[in-house]
């Protein structure tokens, strides 16, 4: 069977090399060629013996997701739709800023967790992405960012400096593949990103947060979105399984291993749902023992969502209350509005296996 070398981290490649009678350090050369030089062709790997190149070519490929579309928004945000076979597609978003370039990476085709305000959640779930499909998003972005011309030339040559696992899917529900992809992101022979610059965002899979702490403690963002269980149960249904108290306890356990001395709480601002001054005060009490920062995300709408974005004034007041209580609070800027590249708008092409799409469409018509 032909294997895809993009599925292997440094250790996996070293084992592979040993298995075919090669020295394990060849893995480092392979990582360099594949991930730093962006080479997908064994013949070009000039410091590997010809015999090894031929051996690899006979047993392996370096296969990336196909780019279906590539759009650049007026603000320079770039979104790729990548085909991952069987009619499924995932989205990856590059967000250039003055001092960094952030790539928003997907981890699943769709998502089974069904948060009520999330477009991906409404699509239903098809399958987990492979390591190759996850790391392939970074490979493709690094290779293509900077090739822009025309109006967006000012954003040219800005490589990816940060990765956030905030695209389609729940990264901790695809734990093994996500962690192997994180290994490759952090490996100095591959992308060499620091653990502070790689963030996993989760809706709160408590046992997997503990495993991440032990296995690969990168920066952690928690999608909190509500100050009490009654409301969070409605917005983030996984809360019924792992309620807020357990979630916050897992954050406390995570902190000693975290690359930063705080947890980021994401909080989507939904008009009339979770954005009142009373909610803000309840939130302050809730997190009083957790070193944290807040990131308020103005809701990004999509057809049939049933929610409205909080007013700018409501967001301002909410932020003010948190800040006055000493909580550092930022408001996420909406980027890539004109190409539907903002948080929670990623829809891709999901061949739903959960029948949720059908249910959602029926609901939306009522
Ligand atoms: N599944 C993970 C990561 C992907 S979603 C998680 O839920 O954390 C990334 C962030 O976007 C999460 O905080 C999510 O709650 C938020 N989000 C989802 N839909 C949104 C929408 N329509 N508008 C604004 N933010 C949204
Ligand atoms: Fe899944 Fe995250 Fe969307 Fe919830 S917000 S449905 S966990 S992708």
350 alpha carbon – ligand 1 mean position (Å): 17
Residues enclosing ligand 2, CB less than 6 A?
A: 111, 113-115, 118, 120-121, 169-170, 203, 223
Q: Which CATH class is domain 66-364?
A: alpha beta
| pTM for the whole structure | 0.94
Each residue's pLDDT expressed in tens, for the chain with a length of 366 residues: 799 999 999 999 999 999 999 999 999 999 999 999 999 999 999 999 999 999 999 999 999 999 999 999 998 899 999 999 999 999 999 999 988 999 999 999 999 999 999 999 998 999 999 999 999 999 999 998 854 444 333 434 447 999 999 999 999 999 999 999 999 999 999 999 999 999 999 999 999 999 999 999 999 999 999 999 999 999 999 999 999 999 999 999 999 999 999 999 999 999 999 999 999 999 999 999 999 999 999 999 888 899 999 999 999 999 999 999 999 999 998 777 777 777 667 777 888 888 776 665 555 544
Domain boundaries, the chain: 3-61, 66-364
Distance of CA 340 to the CA centre of its chain: 16
Residue identifier of the C-alpha nearest atom 22 of ligand 1: 344
Ligand 1 contacts CB of residue 238 (under 6 A): no
Let me know if domain 3-61 sits in CATH 3.40.50.10800.
no
Catalytic residue check, 343: yes
Answer for the pair 222, 251: CB distance below 8 angstroms, yes or no.
yes
CA–CA separation, 17 and 50 (whole Å): 15
Q: Are 244 and 229 in contact (CB under 8 A)?
A: yes
> From the CA of 223, how far away is ligand 1's center (Å)?
7
- The radius of gyration of the chain from alpha carbons, rounded to an integer in Å, stands at 21
Catalytic residue among 22, 91, 133, 266: 91
Sheet holding 89-96, edge to edge: 66-72, 78-83, 89-96, 101-104, 162-165, 198-202, 219-223, 263-269, 292-298, 328-331
Q: In three state form, how does the secondary structure of 59-115 look?
A: HEECCCCEEEEEEECCCCCEEEEEECCCCCEEEEEEEECCCCEEEECCCEEECCCCC
């Amino acid at each position: 069977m032909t294997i895809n070398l993009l599925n292997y981290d440094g250790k996996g490649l070293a084992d592979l090399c040993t298995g075919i009678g090669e020295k394990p350090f060849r893995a480092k050369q392979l990582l360099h060629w594949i991930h730093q030089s962006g080479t997908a062709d064994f013949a070009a790997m000039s410091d590997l013996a010809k015999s090894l190149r031929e051996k690899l070519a006979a047993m392996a490929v370096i296969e990336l997701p196909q780019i279906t579309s590539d759009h650049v928004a007026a603000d320079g945000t770039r979104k790729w739709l990548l085909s991952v076979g069987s009619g499924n597609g995932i989205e990856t978003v590059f967000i250039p800023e003055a001092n960094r370039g952030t790539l928003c990476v997907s981890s699943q085709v769709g998502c089974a967790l069904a948060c009520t305000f999330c477009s991906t959640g409404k699509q239903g779930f098809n399958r987990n992405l492979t390591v190759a499909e996850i790391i392939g998003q970074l490979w493709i972005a690094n290779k293509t960012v900077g090739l822009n011309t025309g109006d967006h030339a000012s954003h040219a040559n800005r490589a990816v400096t940060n990765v956030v696992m905030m695209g389609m899917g729940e990264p901790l529900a695809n734990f093994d593949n996500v962690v192997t992809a994180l290994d490759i992101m952090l490996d100095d022979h591959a992308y060499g990103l620091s653990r502070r610059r790689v963030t996993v965002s989760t809706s709160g899979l408590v046992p997997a947060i503990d495993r991440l702490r032990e296995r690969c403690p990168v920066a952690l963002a928690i999608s909190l979105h509500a100050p009490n269980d009654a409301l969070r149960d409605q917005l983030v249904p996984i809360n019924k399984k792992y309620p807020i108290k357990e979630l916050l306890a897992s954050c406390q356990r995570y902190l000693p291993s975290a690359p930063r001395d705080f947890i980021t709480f994401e909080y989507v601002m939904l008009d009339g749902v979770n954005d009142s001054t009373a909610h803000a005060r309840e939130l302050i009490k809730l997190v009083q023992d957790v070193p944290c920062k807040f990131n308020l995300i103005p809701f990004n709408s999509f057809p049939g969502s049933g929610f409205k974005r909080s007013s700018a004034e409501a967001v301002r007041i909410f932020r003010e209350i948190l800040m006055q209580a000493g909580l550092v609070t930022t408001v996420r800027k909406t980027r890539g509005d004109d190409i539907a590249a903002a948080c929670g708008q990623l829809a891709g092409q999901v061949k739903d296996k959960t029948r949720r799409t059908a249910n959602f469409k029926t609901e939306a018509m009522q």
